[in-house]
Amino acid sequence: MKNFILDISYDGNHYSGWQRQKNKRSVQGTIEKVLKKILKEKKASLTSASRTDAGAHAVHQIANFKLSKGPFLKPEPLLKALNAVLPSDIRINSLRSARADFHARYWAKKREYHYLIYNHKINSPFYQKYAYYYPKSIDLNLLRKTLSYFKGRHDFAPFANLSKTNVKTTVRTLYQISYKKKGPLITIILKGDGFLKGMIRNIIGSVLAINKLKQNPSLIKEIFRLQKRTKERLIDKSGSTVPAYGLYLYRVYY
């Protein structure tokens, strides 16, 4: 038995997310289909560090898969075969042997995501499906303050979409949440032990709502305390989520 680890990039625009789904084109399903074809196996099952949303991208997704015929298989030719057959919006950056007990999800210590905002009066044709177009001005000082309220260990339930999920706890730790700006492009960098479904897009949506409505960023503290984004609160009325095509799984730390 052999265990292989893959580093994968993909443009998520034409996929219904990472996770395999019946009758839908997923990244996992696409790679598994190609693996089965190349290896002439009936089954090939990938385990990934993150299940990215429909439309979300990955710069370095990490996945592993196990094979009984592994000992006879060299990583280098398999990597070449995969990239030759896969569609060009999915690329395997590397493929190598891993310890038999390596598990891409359980072993992951930190995950880093980037969310891209294109902040300019006129959108760019080159970022239309790769960054969230936000034409209103962004108060960078307020942005920095608002982001700081998310840092640390919190129950992130009010910033998650928990329907159709089955998680033991909604407590997560955000080690880093910061931004960098280059011209009209603002990148929000989030590093945490794990992320709930919808968590990043709800965080960014709330941050932009606070910017738009010039709210006090301490509202975030209040939401964590009350554990809800109540209907009375303005933050709920102004679109509390942002599109997936601005979201990138950037790196996984083991």
**216: number of Cβ within 10 Å:** 12
Shortest CB 9 distance to a second copy, Å: 5
Residue whose CB is less far from a second copy, 22 or 121: 121
Site for a second copy in 220-239 (CB under 8 A): none
Among 31, 49, 90, 199, binds a second copy (CB under 8 A): 90
- Please report the DSSP string for the chain in residue order: -EEEEEEEEE-GGGSS-SS--TTS--HHHHHHHHHHHHHT-S----EES--PPTT-EEEEEEEEEEETTGGG--HHHHHHHHHHHS-TTEEEEEEEEE-TT--TTTT--EEEEEEEEE-SSS--TTTTTTSEE--S---HHHHHHHHHTT-EEEE-GGGS--TT---S--EEEEEEEEEEEETTEEEEEEEES---TTHHHHHHHHHHHHHHTT--TTHHHHHHHHTS--TTSHHHHS-----GGGEEEEEEE-
Tokens found for residue 203: 């965080």
Shortest CB 107 distance to a second copy, Å: 24
- 48-77 footprint of a second copy as x/- string (CB under 8 A): ---------x--------------------
Q: Is residue 11 among the annotated active site residues?
A: no
- Could you say which of 7, 11, 53, 139 is catalytic? 53
Q: Which stretch binds a second copy (CB under 8 A): 84-92, 104-112, 154-162, 201-209?
A: 84-92
Q: Which stretch binds a second copy (CB under 8 A): 32-40, 111-119, 124-132, 184-192?
A: 124-132
Shortest CB 122 distance to a second copy, Å: 5
Rounded-to-integer distance, Cα 1 and Cα 133, Å: 47
Residue whose CB is less far from a second copy, 89 or 222: 89
173 near a second copy (CB under 8 A): no
Residue whose CB is less far from a second copy, 47 or 124: 124
183 near a second copy (CB under 8 A): no
Among 102, 130, 179, 224, binds a second copy (CB under 8 A): 130
Q: Which stretch binds a second copy (CB under 8 A): 31-39, 47-55, 117-125, 176-184?
A: 117-125
Decide: 3 and 102 in contact? Cβ < 8 Å. yes
Among 88, 141, 163, 166, binds a second copy (CB under 8 A): 88
Tokens found for residue 166: 């089955």
115 near a second copy (CB under 8 A): no
Task: List residues near a second copy by CB under 8 A.
Answer: 9-11, 57, 83, 88-93, 122-126, 128, 130
